[in-house]
Structure 1
Amino acid sequence: MSPPTGTSPLYFGGLVVFVLDSKSTWVGPAASHSQGSTIKHEKETRAVPTSPSTSSPSSLLPRRSHPHQATRLFFKSQPCLLAAKPSTGSSVLACRGRGAAAMSLEIERAASFLADLEMGSVLAAEPSPAGSAPALVLSSSMDKKKKKYVKQVTGRHNDTELHLAARRGDLPAVRRILGDVVAQVAGMTSEVTELEAVTAEMVSAVVNETNEFGETALITAAEKGHLSVVAELLQYSDKENISRKNRSGFDAFHVAVKEGHRDIVLLLLSHDPTLGKTFGPSNVTPLISAAARGHTEVIKQLLAQNFSMVEVAKRNGKNALHFAARLGHVEAVKALLDKDPQLARRTDVKGQTALHMAAKGTNHDVIKALVDSDPAIVMLPDKNGNTALHVATRKKRAEIVNLLLLLPDTHVNALTRDHRTAYDIAEELPLSEESAYIKECLSRYGALRAKELNQPRDELRKTVTEIKKHVHTQLEQTRKTNKNVYGIAKELRKLHREGINNATNSVTVVAVLFATVAFAAIFTVPGGSEDDGIAVAVHATAFRVFFIFNAIALFTSLAVVVVQITLVRRETKSERRVVEVINKLMWLASVCTTVAFLTSTYIVLGRRLQWAAILVTLIGGVIMAGVLGSMTYFVVKSKRIRKIRKREKSSKRSGSVSWHHTTDFSDSDFNPIYAI
């Protein structure tokens, strides 16, 4: 069977393809093949004879005037050609195997193939010749509302044509590629509103297409420093697309900062000022990246945009100054210190300052810039006790060691935590010209080994520091103690006042009982009374004594009750005095009641049982005398002890005096309350 005539052929890898309509497609080998091939189309298989062809490599794909649109792809791991015919909805997928004779053909409708494309059946394609096909091929499926696109891959890293144009800085090519997308969308859509939406979607998809490194065309252009291409791509990018990161974790802004493209940095910041606050891997900021590369102009621009980022450090604690100092970028160091001189004292997780990092490098000017900013940082140790001199000695930076020794704040015999001086470290270095020169410099400035070192001044300083620390601890403890004592004293005052109130209330009850007994004794006199109410023993001496002492007990008890009812107590000292008065009155009432009781025994018992009255008198007298004598002894002794203590305290002007003043109470508040 001969190939059809009157149709437009498509050439691809030794195949010639004729698309007749939606149901008929003819495929045959080119002139270099002598054998026919087969056509597989639904249930029909036909043999096709060889057809001559005079195509050249440049004619493998149709021109723009060709009625078919085609692109080259990999389908099921085979290089293929997809051709779509919008007028009929038919499509051709022509594929070839690895050998020239291994040829196959799969024919599907455009919608079916594009459905496979969405499911991931179509993989990356091999590069196509320049100018061979548009970057994006559109196709209409049976559902007219769904617009599909197929990416044409051209680079070995899955770069699109747009990636390659952006890498070259070819602005006309970038505009042509984006213009082709707009033109193809316009040919597929008739409605204006739908056209705008689809165009924006398709252009955004093309601009934000990534290669195998996760890089968009914007990231590629920013890396290469093509300002005009970046400006063109930004017209089709929103904030989300601008901040898209590659697989290394860097966005276009971060890439431009690392490469030092100041104009691109300014352009990106004008579109999104928050880009300066973004973070890359390990919490790295754009400022840190610029400092590590030594891009001074970019550093100044970032600091002018957002000064607070100068304090942000990586996860290891190193900030922008650490990296600039370590890599010897003196201008970057000066730019950072001009903004924040205190940055020189910032430490990383190891306790190292920027001077420690500079001591590991070879740039003397960085050392000078850091020391000029803050001379005291020369003696700042890291967590292992290493100063910059120790670090420079360990790294065998002979000239930096010599420079540090010239500084007046350098302590040549400073000890590390493992008790080693810089000279000890120099002796442990392998024998070389640098190590010998370092030891010579250290010896010239009085460096000693740790075991030979006599440091009375350091020991004195350490002792003074320990004393200060101890005194501070004692003062703090005293303050806390005074605070606790004040709280305890307050609670004791409360308890003491409650105790006094309870005591006075009890005394009042006892006084009322005494008054009741004394009052009742007048009307029930001992010995009885005559019919006219006169006491039988009215003329006896014992009765007269009974009457007098009973009256004293009655009126004394009533006086106590009157005092308790009348007086209002507010202070502890006043309460103490009231209790002293009441106690004296109650002692008097008790003595009088005792005497009245003893005399009444003589009246009641008479002369017949006089011995019993005498016995009762002896018992009562001994008990009362013993109680009164004991109480008198303890009261006198207590007063004498208090006088001695007051005399001793008045002769001292120490913490005990201040303790009395700070606690705001005295011993007199808690003196035992006795009455004579």
Structure 2
Amino acid sequence: MKLAHFLSCELVSRMKDQVLISNAQQRETGKVNAAILRAVKEGIFEFVFEIVKADPQLVWSGDSKSRNIFSVAVQYRHAKIFSLIYGLDIKTALARYPDSFYKNNLLHMAGMSAPSTALNDIPGAALQMQRELQWFKEVESIVPSKVCSHLNKEGLTPRELFTKNHKDMRKDGEQWMKDTATSCTVVGALIVTIMFAAVFTVPGGILTSRYAEEDFLESLPRKMIIGLSTLFFSIAAMMTAFSAALFLMLHEQSWIFKPVICLASIPITLFVLMQFPLLVAMANSTYGPSIFDRKMKRWF
């Protein structure tokens, strides 16, 4: 692994040296632009950064449809490469120009469906929808206002393109939210039956509401975080009360008390193990560090 990393760094260093001494014709012959765009598609940040840092004009490198490296980074959802745009003073210019074929600008690219490989590590359709909205909002925050109303070849604005391409994901996210809330409500109902004379519901009416796209950005995750946190607290309180009651009744018969507690803990433990990672993932995605490096230092 170390040898492969060393060889990769050496290759990048030599390519950077060649970029510095080559002219436009030599770069075209050597397919430098094609190599950069391929690296962007694959998300190879170190290669892209070192090469464009050697010659910042290469940020204008375009593919056959005139899409620059940042348009490609958005299309393939590589946040680290896209964040290089924050280190440039020309980000507005880079964001303004549409491609030559579909007339899609940078925000249109954020409105396209992400490749499946970009979403594989994100659990659940709702969190995937949230990530797509985060991308769209991030790109929207840096483009000129005119870009937001620009029409592509299909006559669609970036927002309309986003809605069109994410219609199925929104429906899947809605169903995922309801299914998750239902499973939590069943457990909550059991807790109510055992301990409380009250009604347990996931906060915010998740089971009955219809969702807008924007709800997936923060509103729905926040409600689910509150619901899951409350549920885990209720489970802990229930087990504490249950254990205390058994201990008071059977403290002289520990051979009965301990096995009963262990058996009762098994389904609770399994449920928590299944749902707690979801709570952590949702909290990190909603309130954790951004995937974008807005504090990128100027490198050109």
Taking structure 1 as the reference length, what is the TM-score of the superposition?
A: 0.20
Structure with the bigger RCO (C-alpha within 8 Å, sep 6+) is 2
Q: Which has the higher helix share?
A: 2
Taking structure 2 as the reference length, what is the TM-score of the superposition?
A: 0.43
